Amino acid sequence: MYEGDVDVFRKHRPAAPRGFFAVEAAGLRWLGAVGAVRVAQVIDVGEEHIAIERLTEAAPTPAHAEDFGRDLAALHDAGAPAFGAPPQGWDADGFIGEAPLPLRTEATWGTFYARWRIEPYLAESGIDARGRAVLERLAEALASGTFDDAAPPARIHGDLWSGNVLWTPSGVGLIDPAAHGGHRITDLAMLALFSTPQLGRIHAAYAEASAHLPAHWRELVPLHQVHPLLVHAVLFGGGYRAQAVDAAQRALALAG
């Protein structure tokens, strides 16, 4: 449908959880306010619906991938008040896909990731006792500061899998965020999880543009994939449980 000159995409969910669409709208506006990456415009939002700009899709190109990498670095550099901070205009928890997403602030990224990205999902994940022990060790290492660095909180999309990256005739546009203050590698790791086109070019352009990536950031990708894999374990079960444990084991190997 069209409203004025804008082609509109409308999502409707009867009896949606409170704030389900409002926090999505807040995230889209918070990301879009930077003016770095194109973000679908919010047209209208209510308790059971959201209407956003429909982005015309096109084939991925190397040039647009490189632009996206640089623009994503600029988006992240716009920053956030703290790790775990919700998007501006929102003061409650959010959602990642169909799963709840705690939006609670912590002074360090490691504490935030352990307390609000691993622990809340572990009990509902269906992972066996041996796997839970691995994830609990990882949470302890995170909370102790093992994986902390000097990077300030970034303004991240939070659910940057390939389905939320739309290739348009003029470049990449983003939809469906779980936006919050987080670590830059989290978005980069999510891009790598589900086969984003032109991933190598995106990552390379991002790394050239960013002043906040540690030299060994690629080794940290499995650490940042633990949370989305846990979310998938909660929602879908199956092989995502083993993948989450494997990613945690790979991260722990870096801790020594």
pLDDT 10s digits, 144-161: 999 999 999 999 999 999
Q: Residue 3: its pLDDT value, please?
A: 45
The answer to whether residue 48 sits within a structural domain is no
High-pLDDT (> 90) share of the chain, %? 95
For residue 6, pLDDT over 90 is answered with no
Q: What is the pLDDT of residue 4?
A: 45
- Whether residue 51 lies inside any domain: the answer is no
Give the model's pLDDT for residue 5: 53
* pLDDT at residue 1 is higher than 70: no
Span 190-241, pLDDT tens digits: 999 988 999 999 999 999 999 999 999 999 999 999 999 999 999 999 999 9
Q: Mean per-residue pLDDT for 182-189? A: 98
Q: Cα 164 to the chain's mean position, in Å?
A: 10
Would you state the pLDDT for residue 255?
87
Pairing of the two strands 2-3 and 94-96: unpaired
Q: Has residue 110 been placed in a domain?
A: yes
Q: Is 236 exposed, middle or buried (0-12, 13-18, 19+ CB in 10 A)?
A: exposed
| Residue 252, pLDDT score | 98
Asked if the structure places residue 7 within a domain, the reply is no
Radius of gyration, alpha carbons of the chain: 18
- Tell me what pLDDT residue 28 has: 98
Residue 26's contacts (CB-CB under 8 Å, 6 or more residues apart) are 86, 87, 88, 89, 90, 179
Residue 256 has a pLDDT of 72
The percentage of residues in the chain with a pLDDT greater than 70, rounded to a whole number, is: 98
Domain that holds residue 85: 57-255
**CA-based torsion, 73, 111, 225, 55: positive or negative:** negative
Please report where in the chains the tokens 């003029």 appear, as a residue.
Answer: 170
Summarize pLDDT for 108-134 with one digit per residue, the tens. Answer: 999 999 999 999 999 999 999 999 999
Question: What is the average pLDDT across 165-177?
Answer: 97
Residue 205, domain member (yes or no): yes
- The mean per-residue pLDDT over the stretch 66-70 comes to 98
Name 141's Cβ contacts closer than 8 Å, sequence gap at least 6: 110, 147, 251, 252, 255
Q: Report pTM.
A: 0.96
The total number of structural domains in the chain stands at 1
Sign, CA torsion 29/95/148/83: positive
Q: Does residue 72 register a pLDDT over 70? A: yes
User: Which one, of 91, 122, 88, lies nearest residue 104 by Cα?
Assistant: 91
Does the residue 219 lie in any domain?
yes
Q: How would you classify the pairing of strands 180-182 and 154-156?
A: antiparallel
Distance separating alpha carbons of residues 208 and 220, to the nearest angstrom: 18
CA nearest to 108, candidates 78, 146, 160, 158: 146
> Which CATH number goes with the domain that contains 81?
3.90.1200.10
Residue 104 confidence (pLDDT): 98
Does 42 fall in a domain?
no
Is 251 among the domain residues?
yes
